[in-house]
Amino acid sequence: MKTVRCILQTGKERPVKNRHPWIFSGAIDRIDEGFEAGDLVRVFSDQEEFLGVGYLNPESQIVVRMLTFEDVAIDEAFFDEKIARALETRKRYMPSRTNAYRLIHSEGDFLSGLTVDVYGDFLVAEFNTAGINAWKSVIVKCLQKYFPAHSIFERSDSDLRKWEGLKRSVGVLSGKEPPEAIEIEEHGLLFGVDIQGGQKTGFFLDQRESREVVRGLSAGKRVLNCFAYTGGFSVYAAKGGAREVVSVESSEPAVAMGRKNFERNQLGAEQSVWAQQDVFDYLRATKKEFDMIILDPPAFCKSKNQIQPAARGYKDINLQALKQLPKGGLLFTFSCSSYITPDLFQKIIFGAASDAKRDVRILKKTSHAFDHPINIYHPEGEYLKGLLCEVL
């Protein structure tokens, strides 16, 4: 694979020296001619000081994504070492009776653009950038080395591919075709996962630890799970002894899988109510009172110019939820929008509480599960934040 040189503008080397993995077009002075999207690039300051090696895509807003800040070869051994280190970390911290987890978390595992999730005997890989896509065959070979009995399925169909100038790519990379639903185990609970057509790679693995928090809080409570998807929080609440769990989800296939997940865990239908409708409509119309409401919406904000409308959306659903809670009620609310910072999210909930004229206090703040690590030099990687609030 060809390697070209990239020279930064005067004074633009500081973020790279601070090991931030992204270089935007405004920081670049010049790049050697003859390059193609996905080529490796050696990055230098305007004083010809070597800064590291990354890969290049002039079609992307992020022109260079750094792979290393050392002068090392980018080859099969490089990717093998990164994957081995990621696997060792997961083995060290994996909770018992759990066979679904994130193996590679892009910048968090120092492989920008690559995501790999493990679901039982299947790996699901996302190659979201031109640079990481160029190494697909090498990465698959490395994964096969550490997971020889697993099948590998590609789900490279996110908007990131479009922004990188890549077409969607979905299908088997190694092994067998996945079934309609793979059954996984998480903290001893069973869930069906559609890795071919489900949201993201099929399941929200990043919420594993927050789901366990819900199980510990649910005994005797009436629980409302909004944006329930396939009922992850709902099953945990029911297993935690909730008196009733109402799950609101607009997707018919997700509702069907959610009902099946209750069956998988020997939970009776009397414990679970499913409402297939829009969450905003449900919250405005319902007259029921709940002891705990969970709000885990999809990302409302996918770019900087969407921050204000997204903030209004987050405020609206949290305002409606706060109105439904009695004194002592719990609101477990989340944002997975990376552009909504933890500080901004807390201010949004402050505004919702103020408009609802309720006294609210934060009992706990939550973030990603351990298998979604955040690169300390890449704060943009902290996309998920949660607030467990009590209404007084």
Query: Pick the catalytic residue: 6, 226, 301, 336?
Result: 336
Q: With respect to CATH, is domain 204-391 assigned 3.40.50.150? A: yes
Under the phi-then-psi rule, with left for phi > 0, alpha for psi from -120 to 50, and beta for the rest, what region is 74? beta
- The per-residue pLDDT of the chain, averaged, comes to 95
Active site residue 336: yes
Query: How big is the chain by its Cα radius of gyration, in Å?
Result: 22
Closest CA to 8 of 70, 17, 68: 17
pLDDT of the residue at 268? 82
pLDDT of the residue at 305? 86
* Domain regions of the chain by residue span: 3-68, 76-182, 204-391
pLDDT of the residue at 1? 67
CATH superfamily of this structure's domain 76-182: RNA methyltransferase domain (HRMD) like (3.30.750.80)
Distance of alpha carbon 125 from alpha carbon 143, whole angstroms: 10
What is the topology classification, in CATH, of domain 3-68?
A: 2.30.130
Q: Do 204-391 and 76-182 have the same topology in CATH?
A: no
Give whole-number Cα distances, 381 to 21, 110, 112, 203, 384, in Å.
Answer: 11, 11, 11, 19, 9
What are the tens digits of pLDDT across the range 4-31? 999 999 999 999 999 999 999 999 999 9
Percentage with pLDDT > 70 across the chain: 100
Q: What confidence category does residue 141 fall into, taking pLDDT thresholds of 50, 70 and 90?
A: very high
What are the tens digits of pLDDT across the range 234-284? 999 999 999 999 999 999 999 999 999 999 999 987 789 999 999 999 999
Distance of alpha carbon 282 from alpha carbon 331, whole angstroms: 16
Distance of alpha carbon 106 from alpha carbon 372, whole angstroms: 9
3-state DSSP assignment of residue 60: coil
pLDDT of the residue at 269? 77
Percentage with pLDDT > 90 across the chain: 91
Query: 300, 312 in Cβ contact below 8 A?
Result: no
